[in-house]
Copies of this chain bind each other. A is one copy, B any other.
């Protein structure tokens, strides 16, 4: 089990405030500098530096051939990335927004996820597909989807998502270094979240697939990832007033899933709530709740509950606050964890 990284103060290099967007950009830059086979491609990633400016400066530093503005066609982008990977390159594809990755789903499901398997291991595809996801940024329709359920249901893909500035760097580096395809989901509304972070002595690149306990607690476990981590951390603080000492697990990787870390936590606390923005029905929480229950049934004092987006198309910006799981909704779920049974 992995616990939270050592506090920034203990690091050698000087830290300064950095945003998640900057950490992601830095991860791309460092990967490209270290490995000449890493190529970035997508819509507006070159001259403009991406609509979220994650790729800012890459075309200038590495040239148009390493950071390429493609024609506007997501299936074409991912499909050509497959060919590039077949030839030994390590493409990093940017999808401009979650919903605009959908045209590429056939390439992703039928080729990216399956190529290693289809060729008996002869032709792995080390492709990273960066998907900015989730809401809370006031985007109009099609700009706030949480599509991780589609990727999770596709064997052959890794699905990774950072929630902190440090992980944004470390996990993106690890994803690009992975010999398997990774759907790297970037929580849009955390792009501008800040943390003290040293780009010059970045955290050791951890293997992907490890969850991390972000807050230790004994009453119940909040299992979450990406955009919902800050919500859960805030809820955990607020819960102290109610007498609940909540543990918070940041999954970081949905595939592979860290059953060990999650299971150990839930076995300790005996209660769990899964929190995510994606729609509840058929969403990631079902899988998580089901596997936690399979593994920890006799430790559970109450069913694993889920706090998720409603089962509706993502609402218009003026309504999104009603849809997004917030602190209150998380606390309400914790309150439903049958505490009376304890006494």
Chain B residues with Cβ under 8 A from A283's Cβ? 153, 287
Size category of the A interface is 35 or more
Q: Are B303 and A294 in contact (CB under 8 A)?
A: yes
Report copies per complex.
2
A118 touches B141 (CB 8 A): yes
**B contact residues around A311 at 8 Å (CB):** 155
User: Counting CB contacts under 8 A, is A286 at the interface?
Assistant: yes
What is the CA–CA distance of A278 and B287 in the complex, to the nearest angstrom? 13
Against B, the Cβ 8 Å flags (1 = close, 0 = not) of A260-271 are 000000000000
Tell yes or no: A124 within 8 A of B by CB: no
Q: How far is the CB of A163 from chain B (nearest CB, A)?
A: 20
Shortest beta-carbon distance from A311 to chain B in Å: 5
CB distance from A160 to the nearest CB of B (A): 14
Say yes or no: B150 contacts A153, CB within 8 Å.
yes
Q: How far is the CA of A180 from the CA of B241 in the complex (A)?
A: 46
Taking a contact as CB atoms under 8 Å apart, the answer to whether A294 and B287 are in contact is: no
Bound Cα distance from A106 to B145, whole angstroms: 13
Any chain B CB within 8 A of the CB of A284? Answer: yes
A289 CB within 8 Å of chain B:
yes
Stretch in contact with the other chain, from A29-37, A97-105, A196-204: A97-105
Instruction: Say if the beta carbon of A210 comes within 8 Å of chain B.
Output: no
The answer to the question of A52 belonging to the interface, with a C-beta cut-off of 8 Å to chain B, is no
Asked if residues B293 and A287 are in contact (CB atoms below 8 Å), the reply is: no
> How distant is A282 from chain B, measured CB to nearest CB, in Å?
4
Contact of B282 with A152 in the complex, beta carbons under 8 Å: yes
Q: Is the CB of B152 within 8 A of A281?
A: yes
Bound state CA distance, A304 and B75, in angstroms?
Answer: 39
Min CB–CB distance A114 → chain B (angstroms): 4
Additional A-B contact list (19), CB under 8 Å, known A114-B141, A154-B282, A289-B289: A75-B103, A102-B105, A102-B109, A105-B105, A105-B106, A117-B312, A117-B313, A118-B141, A149-B153, A153-B283, A155-B310, A155-B311, A155-B312, A255-B281, A285-B290, A286-B289, A287-B290, A289-B294, A290-B293
15 A–B contacts, CB within 8 A, in A order? A102-B110, A110-B142, A152-B281, A152-B282, A153-B153, A155-B313, A156-B312, A282-B287, A286-B287, A287-B287, A293-B304, A294-B303, A294-B304, A294-B305, A294-B306
Point out residues on A near B: beta carbons under 8 Å.
75, 99, 102-103, 105-106, 109-110, 113-114, 117-118, 141-142, 149-150, 152-156, 255, 257, 278-279, 281-291, 293-294, 297, 300, 302-306, 310-313
**4 closest Cβ contacts across the A-B interface?**
A286-B287, A152-B282, A153-B282, A102-B106
